[in-house]
Amino acid sequence: MTRLAAALSAALLLTGCISPMTTREAQQIASGRINKYCAGHCGAVALAHTQKIKKRWLVDFEGPRQKFTVIVEDDGNSKITTWNK
């Protein structure tokens, strides 16, 4: 009986870790990624738009000379794409 109780409590604790990413979490990951990418060389970068497409978040930023999109996966991995204005 104790093994069953331990397995159930472990399953309940782990379901909190597997919950879908929120908009705020995606924006925080993307902000960290853009700050690391730019390292102060991109000028003032502002959050422009966030949207979820299937299991990915697209977080758009605008700088003085470039636009940036950070693709954030549900597992926390991210990739940055840049365009010149």
Q: What pLDDT score does 38 carry?
A: 93
User: Residue 17 is which amino acid?
Assistant: C
pLDDT of residue 85: 82
Give the model's pLDDT for residue 20. Answer: 82
**Contacts (Cβ under 8 Å, ≥6 apart) of 5:** none
Picking from 40, 27, 41, the residue whose alpha carbon sits closest to that of residue 69 is 27
Burial class (CB in 10 A: 0-12, 13-18, 19+), 15: exposed
Element (H, E) at 24: helix 23-38
* Domains delineated in the chain: 21-84 (3.10.450.630)
Residue 62 in tokens: 């605008």
Query: Looking at this protein, which amino acid is placed at residue 65?
Result: R
pLDDT per residue of the chain (85 residues) written in tens, 0 to 9: 576 556 655 555 555 556 688 999 999 999 999 999 999 899 999 999 999 999 899 999 999 999 999 999 988 899 999 999 8
